[in-house]
Amino acid sequence: MSKIVTLNGNMAIAEAIRQINPDVVAAYPITPSTSIVETVAQYVADGLIDSEFVCPESEHSAMSVCIGAAAAGGRVTTATASQGLALMWEMLYIAAGLRLPIVAAIVNRALSAPINIHGDHSDTMGARDSGWIQIYSENAQEAYDNFIQAFRIAEHPDVRTPVMVTFDGFIISHSLETMKIEDDEAVKKFVGEYSPVYPLLDTDNPITVGPIDFTDFYFEHKVNQLEGIENAPKVIEEVGKEFGKRFGREYGFFEEYRMDDAEVAILLMSSAAGTAKETVDELRAQGKKVGLIKLRVFRPFPARKLAETLSRLKAVAVLDRATSPGAEGAPLFVETRSALFDYPERPKIINYVYGLGGRDITPEHFHQVYRKLEKIASTGKVDQYYGYLNLRE
């Protein structure tokens, strides 16, 4: 039986880890992900799970331990944020390159400088080309649900690619909310037993992991590695559907909110989507044809699906909680605009950066964006395609 509980995002992840009972948890505490690591350490100390808990001297080492343990054939998880993820950077590429199905909970937090502990997506956007699958969560419920599904996706024989499940620092990680926790056995059954494909500990079938590979075959092997993430969409879809069947909450690549006859829409990820839905409801009550798309899977990017949905609109605002200095807009915007390029019918598209360093975003800010979109839709003109929301001037 599932039960209704009040948990914050970090405790929801700790609960999922308790239920899944992975072989190895290797993590180094960093705000705002610390309480995940503390709580899991407590579970191990209390004998609630029999995971091997390793707390090495840094996040770089934590990911290295994850890589070693996953290569040995273990089911492995970790949690980190911000500078911690940045310090993992070179090891992230190795985890993906070795096709190790590690699952990481990333509590989104701004990157220094200046030092800031609050939520934005700079950290995971910095890891977007590392080869990891990236799944973003609106709230603690989704973080929990996504984290459970992540093991199935990562470990699927056609995928065998690491997955990071993210949620906004403090706004979700430290916010208590009413949510559903599924039964221990049901979660274990959903995740299933893990059978590694080429475990190092299978000494009867010795293999080499991480050898040198020069101009002769590096290119071919690199392209082969991409197969995992290229196969992921089908698996992400299947797992999301099966999760829905089992637990009543179905997941796809993105959520369409009141999009049926929408003429303008906002596209964004994570916690701000909740606030934006309130604004959509207010505007819909006034008869305005506005909608919202909340992207869940950023890597692999569901370009075609997203473009098909967006192409029938008059105007779209893409909201990014990160910047891409020197680029033609922030990451989600650039990907989305590129995805629309091949569609003869495509909407006007603008980009706002919001919420850096945890800056609050309220319904009023979404009203501001929808007003702008309505103006663009009626005039067909974009005067400025890039801007900042709730920036002090």
Please answer whether residues 323 and 353 qualify as being in contact, where contact means their C-beta atoms are separated by less than 8 angstroms: yes
Q: Round the CA-based radius of gyration of the chain to a whole number and report it.
A: 21
Q: Interface mask (CB under 8 A) for other proteins, residues 69-108, using x and -?
A: ----------------------------------------
Q: Interface mask (CB under 8 A) for other proteins, residues 178-207, using x and -?
A: x-----------------------------
- Residues within window 109-128 making contact with other proteins, judged by CB under 8 A: 117-119
Residues near 49 by beta carbon (within 8 Å), at least 6 away in sequence: 17, 18, 21, 40, 43
Please answer whether residues 160 and 99 qualify as being in contact, where contact means their C-beta atoms are separated by less than 8 angstroms: yes
Q: CB of 5: closest distance to other proteins in angstroms?
A: 8
Across the beta sheet with 386-388, the strand order is 254-257, 290-295, 264-269, 315-320, 348-353, 386-388
Q: Which stretch binds other proteins (CB under 8 A): 59-67, 92-100, 318-326, 353-361?
A: 353-361
**Based on CB atoms, which residue is closest to other proteins, 171 or 353?**
171
Q: CB of 282: closest distance to other proteins in angstroms?
A: 7
Among 346, 362, 386, 388, contact with other proteins (rule: CB under 8 A): 362
What residue type is 390 in one-letter code? N
Among 43, 170, 251, 301, contact with other proteins (rule: CB under 8 A): 170
Spatial CA neighbour of 16 closest among 108, 119, 107, 146: 146
Using CB under 8 A as the binding rule, whether residue 277 contacts other proteins is answered as: yes
Count CA within 13 A, CB hemisphere, residue 112. 8
Q: Residue 96 CB: number of other CB atoms within 10 A?
A: 22
Among 361, 369, 377, 389, contact with other proteins (rule: CB under 8 A): 361
Spatial CA neighbour of 134 closest among 115, 119, 153: 153
Using CB under 8 A as the binding rule, whether residue 52 contacts other proteins is answered as: no
Residues making contact with other proteins (CB under 8 A): 4-6, 8, 117-119, 139, 168, 170-172, 174-178, 271-272, 274-275, 277-278, 282, 358, 360-363
